[in-house]
C-alpha cells in the first residue's frame, strides 16, 4: 500500500489527518510529521527513515513550497524513485489519497492528487464582482 506522510509546520498536518479520519474512519498508512522543534538535519533524517521503511511508495504532502518542510523533503528524496513530493496540501488531496492509493500507481496517483488539490481551490460567492 502506498503510504502518505503530511509534513507541515506546527500541528497543521496532524489536524488534517485527524479530519480525514473523522470523515472516513481510521486510515492506515497516513501519518503526520511536524517540523516543530526539529532542525533541518533532524527533519531530513526522519524523512529518510520513513522513506526507507516503505516498499510500495510514499507521497509526501507538504504545506508550503520553499519552506523548511519542502527543503527537507527534497533532500530526503533526492535519490529515491518511490517517493513523490506534493506541495500545497489540502483536505481534498488527502481524501483523494485514501480513496485512490490502492488502485493507482504512484505516478498516476500523484497526478490525480495535484488535479484534485487544484480543483478544490476556488473563489466562492459573488462579492467583488463589478
Residue 75 domain-assigned?
no
Residue 26 domain-assigned?
yes
Residue 87 domain-assigned?
no
Closest CA to 41 of 78, 83, 75, 82: 75
* Residues 28 and 102: beta-carbon distance below 8 Å: no
Mean pLDDT value of segment 38-58: 91
Q: What is the pLDDT of residues 92-128, one digit of tens each?
A: 999 999 999 999 999 999 999 999 999 999 988 877 6
Q: Is the pLDDT of residue 129 over 70?
A: no
Q: Is the pLDDT of residue 130 over 70?
A: no
* Domain carrying residue 53: 9-65
Residue 88 domain-assigned?
no
Mean pLDDT value of segment 82-100: 97
Cell of 83: 517517493
Mean pLDDT value of segment 33-39: 94
Residue 91 domain-assigned?
no
Average pLDDT, the chain: 93
- Integer Cα distance of 80 and 37 in angstroms: 26
Residue 98 domain-assigned?
no
- Integer Cα distance of 3 and 17 in angstroms: 13
Number of domains within the chain: 1
Residue 32 domain-assigned?
yes
Residue 35 domain-assigned?
yes
Amino acid at each position: 500500500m502506498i503510504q502518505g506522510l503530511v509534513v507541515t509546520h506546527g500541528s497543521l498536518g496532524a489536524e488534517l489527518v485527524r479530519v480525514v479520519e473523522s470523515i472516513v474512519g481510521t486510515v492506515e498508512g497516513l501519518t503526520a510529521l511536524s517540523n516543530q522543534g526539529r532542525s533541518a538535519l533532524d527533519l531530513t533524517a526522519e524523512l529518510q527513515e520513513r522513506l526507507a521503511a516503505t516498499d510500495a511508495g510514499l507521497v509526501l504532502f507538504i504545506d508550503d513550497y520553499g519552506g523548511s518542510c519542502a527543503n527537507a523533503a527534497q533532500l530526503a528524496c533526492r535519490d529515491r524513485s518511490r517517493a513523490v513530493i506534493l506541495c500545497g496540501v489540502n483536505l481534498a488531496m488527502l481524501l483523494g489519497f485514501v480513496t485512490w492509493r490502492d488502485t493507482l500507481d504512484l505516478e498516476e496517483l500523484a497526478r490525480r492528487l495535484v488535479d484534485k488539490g487544484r480543483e478544490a481551490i476556488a473563489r466562492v460567492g459573488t462579492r467583488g464582482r463589478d
